[in-house]
Amino acid sequence: MFTSPLLNNLIEFLPKVRGKYQKDEPMSKHTWFAVGGPAEILYHPADQEDLKYFLQNLPNNIPIYLLGGGSNLLVRDGGILGVVIKLDNKNFKQIEVGDGWIKCGAGLPNIDLKKILLKHELGGLEFLCSIPGVIGGSIKTNAGCFGSEIKDVMLCAEVMNGLGEISTLTPKDFNLSYRNSLFPDDWIILSMTLKTYHEPKAKIQQKLEEQKNYRIANQPYNEKTAGSTFKNPQGLKAWELIQKSGCAELQIGGAKVSEKHNNFLINTGNATAEDIEQLGEEIIARVKEHTSITLEWEIRRLGIRK
């Protein structure tokens, strides 16, 4: 039985919300790696007011974590103690389009932005459609690809802090840099407003297809993976360092290095979170030994190791 050392039967101590609580929810159902132990409680807020009420009435000794799309995350096999919050209600997926901007709810999957761009003929955000995850999760790591990053297109974001207070912040407030940001643990992104411009539908479609085809050709596709595993050291490519250090064919348990792109780790079907983490640590050690460069995890690791 998975129980918290903080409180017995944790759910009895949580605020009575309009959203939904799930006890001992396997995080393997909510992450792209499809591994990981259970969240003690997974909370799905009904809307912003429900989330605010929860935060303002939550006992201080209960830890909380925010789950985005589960794409850049490795949840360890021992699971997560406390409450994991997932903004997957439709109220966190609303879209508003204006002149030169689009406002997206934090829970909107990036891939769903594609049909909005095509419908309204909005350009400049095609790169975001190909990044796994949800809009709200894009800020913490300043997500980017194909030469663009969130900091290049972000106008502002609505943020709720641990006290349930909402403020509107700009990119400067987040201090966005390569795969990094100033992002306190108790901040929850509610929505993000992005700059855009008119672009013919055919041209948008062309960009989307080109980017999709590139990913299919050069990265693992329809595989259980969490995207790039390590950040690129300045002026270098992580995949090249991994390859040159003899790690291209490494495998531990059910986890292996992708043949298509060496900076991706793959769950071949029966991997544990421990397999994946050990594989990553082995790569870091070998690259350090061969190049004197220490790779830094880009994937967030969360929870308890068994």
Please tell me the distance from the alpha carbon of residue 248 to that of residue 258, in angstroms, as a whole number.
Answer: 8
Q: Is 301 a catalytic residue?
A: no
Task: Give the containing element (helix H, strand E) for 274.
Answer: helix 273-291
Q: Is 179 a catalytic residue?
A: yes
The answer to whether 208 and 131 have CB atoms below 8 angstroms apart is no
The answer to whether 123 and 132 have CB atoms below 8 angstroms apart is no
Residues 6+ apart with CB under 8 A from 249: 256, 257
Q: Is 240 a catalytic residue?
A: no
The catalytically annotated residue of 40, 149, 199, 298 is: 298
Helix (H, G, I), strand (E, B) or coil at 145: strand
Please tell me the distance from the alpha carbon of residue 183 to that of residue 11, in angstroms, as a whole number.
Answer: 28
Please tell me the distance from the alpha carbon of residue 83 to that of residue 39, in angstroms, as a whole number.
Answer: 7
Encoded amino acid at 78, one letter: G
The catalytically annotated residue of 130, 138, 228, 245 is: 228
The catalytically annotated residue of 179, 245, 274, 277 is: 179
Residues 6+ apart with CB under 8 A from 47: 18, 89, 91, 92
Catalytic positions, written as ranges:
179, 228, 298
